Amino acid sequence: MMTRLSLTTLALLTATSAAAQEKPTLTIYAGDYIASEWGPGPKIEEGFEAFCECDLKFVTGDILPRILMEGDKTDADIVFGLNTDVTARARASGLFAPHGQDISDLSLPVEWGDDIFLPYNWGETAFIYDETRLENPPESFQALLSAPEDLKIVIQDPRSSISGLALLLWVKAIYGDDTPEAWEKLAPKVLTVTKGWSESYGMFTEGEADMVLSYTTSPAYHIVAEDDQTKHAAIFPEGHYFMAELAAQVAGSDQPELAQKFMDWILTEDFQTSIPLANWSMPAKLEQAKWPGVMRDLPRPDTTLFYDETQAEDLRKPALDEWLRAFSR
Amino acid sequence: MASGVLALRRDAAGIAVAAALAALILGTLAAVAWQARGLSALQSWDWRAVWFTIWQAALSAALSAGLAVPVARAFARRRFPGRALLVTLLGAPFILPVIVAIMGLIAVFGRTGAINEALRAVGIGEFSVYGWQGVVLAHVFFNLPLSIRLILQGWQSIPVERFRLADSLGFGPADTARHLEWPMLRGVLPGIWLAVFLVCLTSFTVALALGGGPAATTVELAIYQAFRFDFDLGRAAALGLVQIALSLGALVLSRRMATAVAFGTGLDLAHGPVGPRGWRRAMDAVAILAAALFLLCPIGAVILQGLPRIPDLPTEVWAATLRSICMALISASIAAALCLALALTIAKTSNGWLEAAGMLPLVASPLVLGTGLFIMLRAHVAIDDLALPVTALINAVMALPFGLRALIPAARSLRADYGRLADSLNMTGLARLRLLTLPRLAAPLGFSTGLAAALAMGDLGVIALFATDQPTLPLKLYQLMNSYRMTDASACAVLLMSISFALFWLFDRGGRLA
């Protein structure tokens, strides 16, 4: 039965793609949300296929564990959607080739000198609140720590979520050696810690928590898609932690020219203008004047905090231990 | 001679299923360890996770099984309009997708939930659902339904003639409990405790979301961390082994506790035992009402929120819905066949190893299983075309332990009550299956198949490493949530829940009518 099913599928596929048969395929490993209808994937596919004379194929799932396991036998030509926290391990695998782009004038708030991992969008961690429920949000990280205990926040677990890990580094960047004391003050206000971002954000929109760990760009979604002006990021003078999403090409790709063509396209205006509203994040290389109005108008922190990958990798384990100790009491 | 060969062949089917299960579960673990070139040592936080996992699972299982007893008894001895419907409805939490259940529980028990609003209104302090109490509450919410159903089946396995005999001998409720009900419970409770313990053992999302923080870390989370963040496959495999060791320990314990029961056959009289009158009647009403409120309110909250949004769901969701239904049906058929073969063999041989193999899928870490399969299949086939077939198969396997819990006791009584007669009539092979086995086992088999269909429907995909361009409905739900579309996601949740429930109802009802 299975065989017959797949034969039918095959027949259908060959019928529909007879015209496309001659075209080479560019295989992109991407996070699941990227390739969904509601992510930037469909726009990227359409945009690139318009000029590449190729088939762009997204392969979704747990991309880094998968490619690390496949090693040089991987089918991937491009890996799309890695985060800054995993570049050290990805780089150490030796699977990736330089991107070959001019990265001297990116629209990032931090220095970026990486010749392998190319940022295509970025944001900063922030606590989001609803002004109708929280009239006096804390005005600094310090104020959040000393807020009364009935202010409840939800955060993500640094062991299962990248935004959770970013919080770990954020607090480390602000408080350094005093981090354990900072966690101790924050812990009573943490209603709960969830596996991923979506569970936390769901709890916040349900009204269960006053603030949620998310991104400075989150209010843009509510403004554009829901016409809701009540959600804001609390901007702290101590600074916010930087997060970027990255693309890289695979060194052993069997389509190196196509892969290069794709990398060349990422920083162009064509690509960068399609990103902000599809992924709810800031473009990596675009003059501010060309940003969508809503992104331009979002309040931004004056200071952006960021550890490079070696520092972050060194800090990860001890910082995680501090966090675990403070929250396991 | 011919019957001997047939009997052997029938056993062979069960033994083959058990062997395949063991190979799948242990083989994938071995594959992960092999890829890592060995196991790595556990860290101190891992051991804390192990302890938390054990005690929360043991407590959740004891509470689920214990609380289910009065509810199941009330259902067994009372008749009222809508009883059958209520029994089916109370099964719903077990098949809820985890994320939906969390949202429902928070709507009722959360900080701004109905209970706390009421407590505040009368001036009593807040009840916090976040902490170990929340984890246990959620686990009881998930597993009470299964426990009620399985205990109720136990009650119904006592022929009504025995209750009548007890009545005519002038037994009071206490005597009936001692001579009929308690022996039955001794037979079924340990197995139910074990099943719930194993479900709670691999809990992850619930434990974290309601646990309030890393004090509520389970082994499964440690495995996830080892995979995703440390990329330490050796540690993941070591933790997977710990999980299996814990389950085997629990299995041995529950087998020690369980005693065999045999009530003999009855005439399958339709009307059940008549319950005692007086205050016990009120108690039964309270038990049923409390269970119904506890289990149905969170579901009601989810429905209220999502239902009005269903017509506005994006069209992609409907394609995914259809795909999920097909997959669930295929999964359920595979599960039913495997389950029946294994249960019949277990009933016949009473082999502890076979039963252990049947429970193995419950204790396998989904992450280890998926990764192991990926490693094993990658070298031989185009892996991404296999995503859907592999999901269907894995879901069937994952549903097996629950189905077995319902089928094994029924298959045992079938063997004890009708086995010898059928043997003496030389009734074997297909004839026996058609005339005896299937009709007698229709109810538990329908229940098992329905459960498998519903679980497959709600599955999030064990196989994160396999890519698919054909997303299922639960995956769509997560995609919606990850794109900020929480209201669409809640509509999607209602859709998913209703279809899961409808599938379960269809098979369960079909089985009971057959």
Write down all domains in chain A, each with its CATH number in brackets: 23-122+244-297 (3.40.190.10), 123-242+301-327 (3.40.190.10)
Looking at the structure, tell me whether residues B282 and B366 fall in a common domain. no
Distance CA B78, CA B82 (A): 12
Inter-chain touch A193–B102, beta carbons under 8 Å: no
A241 by DSSP, 3-state: which?
A: strand
In a domain, B233, yes or no: no
Q: Is B132 on the interface with A (CB under 8 A)?
A: no
Q: Give the whole-angstrom CA distance, residue B257 versus residue B401.
A: 19
DSSP output for B406-469: HHHHHHHHHIIIIIHHHHHTT--HHHHIIIIIHHHHHHHHHHHHHHHHHHHHH---S-TTS--S
Interface test with B, best of A33, A84, A89, A192 (most B CBs within 10 A): A192
pLDDT above 80 for B7: no
pLDDT interval class at A12 (50, 70, 90): very low
- State pLDDT tens for residues B125-146: 788 888 889 999 999 999 999 8
Q: CB contact, 8 Å: B480 with chain A?
A: yes
DSSP letters along B116-129, please?
Answer: HHHHHHTTPPPPP-
B451 inside domain: yes
Phi, psi angle pair for A257, to nearest 5°: -70, -40
Secondary element (H or E) of residue A30: strand A25-30
On whether both B407 and B458 belong to a single domain, the answer is yes
Shortest distance, CA B508 to any CA of chain A (angstroms): 26
Query: Has residue B64 got a pLDDT over 90?
Result: yes
**In chain A, which among 33-62 make CB contacts under 8 A with chain B?**
33, 35-39, 58-62
Residue B200 lies inside a defined structural domain of this protein? yes
A202-212: burial string, b at 16+ Cβ within 10 Å, e else: bbbbbbbbbbb
Higher pLDDT: A130 or B243? It is A130
Q: Return the residue matching tokens 């074997």.
A: B428
Q: B-chain residues within 8 Å CB-CB of A203?
A: 106, 209
Q: Residues B21, B158: one domain?
A: no
A232 pLDDT tier (thresholds 50, 70, 90)? very high
Q: How far apart, in whole angstroms, are the C-alpha atoms of residue B57 and residue B76?
A: 27
- Residues 6 or more apart in contact with residue A323 via CB below 8 angstroms: A158, A168, A183, B214
Query: Are residues B482 and A205, on separate chains, in Cβ contact within 8 Å?
Result: no
> What angle, rounded to 10 degrees, do the helices at B182-201 and B233-257 form?
180
Domain around B169: 41-219+276-304
Question: Does any CB of chain A come closer than 8 Å to the CB of residue B224?
Answer: yes
Chain A residues with beta carbon closer than 8 angstroms to that of B48? 328
B227 touches chain A (CB under 8 A): yes
Q: Does the beta-carbon distance from A68 to B231 stay under 8 Å? A: yes
Q: Which helix (H) or strand (E) holds A57?
A: strand A55-60
Residue bearing tokens 């996770």: B49
Q: Under a CB-based contact definition with an 8 Å cutoff, are residues B319 and B116 in contact?
A: no
Residue in chain B lying closest to A160 (CA): B225
What is the percentage of chain A residues whose pLDDT exceeds 90?
64
Q: Are A307 and A88 in contact (CB under 8 A)?
A: no
> Does residue B50 belong to any structural domain of this protein?
yes
Task: Say if residue B303 is exposed, middle or buried (CB neighbours under 10 Å; 0-12, 13-18, 19+).
Answer: middle
Q: What's the distance, CA B462 to chain centroid?
A: 16
User: Is the pLDDT score of B506 beyond 80?
Assistant: yes
How many helices and strands, by DSSP H and E, does chain A display?
15, 12
Instruction: Please check the confidence at residue A2 and state whether its pLDDT lies above 70.
Output: no
Q: Nearest to residue B208, comparing CAs of B140, B134, B143?
A: B134
Two structure tokens written together for A185: 């003050």
Of B287, B304, B321, which residue is a domain's last?
B304
pLDDT of residue B464: 64
Contact B486 A205 (CB under 8 A): yes
Q: Phi and psi for A304 in degrees, rounded to 5?
A: -115, 130
- Asked if B481 has any chain A CB less than 8 Å from its own CB, the reply is yes
CA distances from B248 to B53, B83, B241 (A): 15, 37, 11
The residue that leads in pLDDT, A132 or B259, is A132
Pair B30, B153 in one domain: no
In angstroms, the separation between the Cα of residue A104 and the nearest Cα of chain B is 31
Pairing of strands A240-250, A96-97: antiparallel
For B131, the token pair is 């902490």
Q: Which pair of structure tokens corresponds to residue B33? A: 């360890």
Q: Please tell me if residue A307 touches chain B, with a CB cutoff of 8 Å.
A: no
**Given an 8 Å threshold on Cβ–Cβ distance, is B471 in contact with A157?**
no
* B119, B14: one domain: no
Query: Is the CB of residue A48 less than 8 Å from the CB of residue A56?
Result: yes
Q: How far is B406 from chain A (nearest CA, A)?
A: 29
Please give the Cα distance from A66 to A48 (Å, whole number).
25
Give B322→chain A minimum CA distance, Å. Answer: 16
B415 and B339 inside one domain: yes
Percent over 70 (pLDDT), chain B: 93
Phi, psi of A215 (to 5 degrees): -125, 155
For residue B330, pLDDT over 90 is answered with yes
Tokens 């800031």 correspond to: A282
User: Is B326 at the interface with chain A, CB within 8 A?
Assistant: no
Whether the pTM exceeds 0.90: the reply is no
Q: Is A159 on the interface with B (CB under 8 A)?
A: yes
Contacts of B211 in chain A (CB under 8 A): 192-193
CA distance A164 to B174: 56
With beta carbons under 8 A apart, name residues in chain B contacting A6.
385
The 3-state DSSP class for residue A194 equals strand
With vertex at residue A27, the alpha carbon angle to CA A24 and CA A28, rounded to the nearest 5 degrees, is: 145
Q: How far, in Å, CA of B491 to CA of B20, rounded?
A: 39
Asked if B214's CB is within 8 angstroms of A65's CB, the reply is no
Q: Are A213 and A89 in contact (CB under 8 A)?
A: no
Domain boundary residue among B304, B321, B355? B304
Of A74, A293, A47, nearest to B379 by C-alpha is A74
Measure in Å the smallest separation between the Cα of B148 and chain A Cα atoms: 29
pLDDT value at B5 more than 70: no
8-state DSSP, A82: E
Distance CA B276, CA B184 (A): 19
Best residue of A8, A9, A38, A325 to probe chain B, by most B CBs closer than 10 Å = A38
DSSP B38: S
Q: Which one, of B239, B339, B229, B97, lies nearest residue A319 by Cα?
A: B229
CB of A280 less than 8 A from some CB of B: yes
- Which among A38, A65, A190 has CB closest to B485? A38
pLDDT for position B155? 84
The encoded tokens of residue B77 equal 């001895």
Residues of chain A found within 8 Å of residue B468, distances taken between Cβ atoms: 60
* pLDDT value of residue A1: 37
For residue B468, the model assigns a pLDDT of 67
- Please report whether residue B61 resides in a domain: yes
> Chain B residue closest to A87 (CA)?
B229
- Asked if B341 and B14 count as a contact pair (C-beta separation under 8 A), the reply is yes
Among A272, A282, A277, residue whose Cα is nearest residue A110: A282
User: Residues B398, B502: one domain?
Assistant: yes
In a domain, B270, yes or no: no
Does residue B156 have a pLDDT over 50?
Answer: yes
Question: For residue B318, is it within any domain?
Answer: yes
Residues B292 and B360 in one domain: no
CA distance B221 to chain A (A): 8
**Residue B31 corresponds to which tokens in the numbers above?**
């594959």
* CA dihedral (B206, B207, B212, B217) positive or negative: negative
Quick one: what percent of chain A has pLDDT higher than 70? 93
Which range, A72-76, A256-260, B44-48, B431-435, has the best average confidence (pLDDT)? A256-260
The b/e string for B95-108 (b: 16+ C-beta within 10 A; e otherwise) is: bbbbbbbbbbbbbb
Judged by DSSP in three states, A192 sits in strand
Among B residues 230-269, those touching chain A with beta carbons less than 8 Å apart? 231
Instruction: Say if residue B238's pLDDT is above 50.
Output: yes
Structure tokens at A141: 């990280």
Contact A36 B231 (CB under 8 A): no
Question: Hey, are the CB atoms on A206 and B229 less than 8 Å from each other?
Answer: no
β-strand pairing of A78-83 with A231-234: unpaired
Q: In residues, how long is chain A?
A: 329
- The pLDDT assigned to A3 comes to 41
Q: Quick check: A37 and B229 CB within 8 A? A: no
Taking only residues 349 to 368 of chain B, the set having a beta carbon closer than 8 angstroms to any beta carbon of chain A reads none
A199 touches chain B (CB under 8 A): yes
CA distance B440 to B413: 10
Name the residue among B114, B111, B109, B217 with its Cα closest to residue A191.
B111
Neighbours of B486 (CB within 10 A): 18
Span B430-472, pLDDT tens digits: 777 778 778 888 888 998 999 899 988 887 566 666 766 677 8
**Highest-scoring range by mean pLDDT, A155-164, B157-166, B230-239, B403-412:** A155-164
Average pLDDT of the segment spanning B376-402: 82
The CATH number assigned to the domain holding B181 equals 1.10.3720.10
Residue of B215, B221, B314 lying closest to A328 (CB–CB): B215
Are residues B452 and B331 in contact, defined by beta-carbon separation less than 8 angstroms? yes
Task: Name the residue type at position A82.
Answer: L
* Contact by Cβ (8 Å): B296, B185: no
Q: Give the number of residues written for chain B.
A: 514
ipTM beyond cut 0.90? no
Together in a domain, B150 and B289: yes
Cβ pair A160:B478 closer than 8 A: no
Q: Which phi and psi (to 5°) does residue B446 adopt?
A: -60, -40
User: Does any domain span residue B250?
Assistant: no
Query: At A15, is the pLDDT very low, low, confident or very high (cuts 50, 70, 90)?
Result: very low
pLDDT (0 to 100) of residue B429: 76
Of the candidates A159, A201, A203, which has its C-beta nearest B106's C-beta? A203
Least CB–CB distance from A195: residue in B48, B209, B212: B209
> What band does A134 get if pLDDT is binned at 50, 70 and 90?
very high
In angstroms, how far apart are the furthest CA atoms of chain A? 66
Q: Give me the mean pLDDT over the A71-81 stretch.
A: 90
CB–CB contact B481 A58 (8 Å): no
Q: What is the DSSP letter of A177?
A: G
Number of structural domains (chain B) is 2
Residues B20 and B84 in one domain: no
Same domain, B283 and B349: no
What per-residue confidence (pLDDT) applies to B467?
A: 66
Number of CB atoms found within 10 A of residue A48's CB: 21
- Residue B26: count of CB within 10 angstroms of its CB: 17
The residues with which A194 forms a beta bridge, in sequence order, are A156
B317 and B371 share one domain: yes
Task: Decide: A211 and A204 in contact? Cβ < 8 Å.
Answer: yes
A205 touches chain B (CB under 8 A): yes
Rounded to a whole number of angstroms, the CA Rg of chain B reads 23
Q: Looking at chain B from residue 39 to 68, which residues have their Cβ under 8 Å from any Cβ of chain A? A: 45, 48
**Contact of A158 with A213, CB cutoff 8 Å:** no
Q: Chain B residues with CB inside 8 Å of A323's CB?
A: 214
The model's confidence at residue B34, banded by pLDDT at 50, 70 and 90, is confident
